[in-house]
Amino acid sequence: MNEGLKIAVFASGKGSNLQAIIDAIESGKLLNSEVVCVISNKKDAGALEIAKSNGISAYYIASENYSNRDDFDSAIIDVLNFHSVNLILLAGYLKLLSPIIVQKYRNRILNIHPALLPKFGGKGMYGLNVHRAVIESGEKISGATVHLVDEEYDHGPIIIQESVELDPDETPESLQKKIQKIEHKIYPEAVKLFAEGKIKIQNEIIMK
Ligand code: GRF
């Protein structure tokens, strides 16, 4: 792909994955790429602070502040158009994207999830809830997944997964810590594959 990547990161939380992407760009691991804006539905999201301190445009756009879903979606689309965004990264964004945005950016939206999808994904599966569910179900391994986003929560063709073993005394908190380390490694790797045009979709199967 010759065209440079203009990335929008959507985040509701502290923003460590946003930071990992920024670091990968700054260190030269991710070439020809720029985070052009960060969008959050939470006013106090750490991700917005990270954006501001890196000179990246930061937007708080919450559905509560719009009278209907169409106006909320339009506000997001206006920002994406304004910055000529050509890749969206969901990084702990706790809202389902509207079909209109998924359609407009089909195969140009990635998400990172702190488990080995298709297990332990879906509505309500975020933060420590995921790791609690993994431990309670007696799994011996968990991990992180980067996938292309479709209209469903945590669903779409998988790009990269990496696993970790659970320790016998694993807690949701310790597992979260281990998995975040993996996330910060594989999310930039997946963006690199995308930037290099190495992700090709054929009948919903990813060829690398
Ligand atoms: C990560 O665990 C990610 O997998 C999930 O939400 C969390 C976001 O963490 N989708 P952070 O805000 O990037 O630190």
User: Would you give the distance in Å from CA 78 to the centre of its chain?
Assistant: 20
Domain boundaries, the chain: 5-118+145-162+182-201
Residue 152 DSSP symbol: S
Using the mean position of ligand 1's atoms as its centre, give its distance from the Cα of residue 13 in Å.
Answer: 7
Which of 142, 180, 184, 186 has most ligand 1 atoms within 8 Å of its beta carbon, as the pocket-test mutant? Answer: 180
pLDDT band at 1 (very low <50, low <70, confident <90, very high): very low
155 is catalytic: no
Using left for φ > 0, alpha for ψ between -120 and 50, and beta otherwise, residue 138 falls in left
**Residues 13-26: tens digit of each pLDDT:** 999 999 999 999 99
Pick the residue whose CA is nearest to atom 8 on ligand 1.
Answer: 92
* Per-residue pLDDT tens digits for 77-108: 999 999 999 999 999 999 999 999 999 999 99
CATH code assigned to 5-118+145-162+182-201: 3.40.50.170
**pTM attached to this predicted model:** 0.95
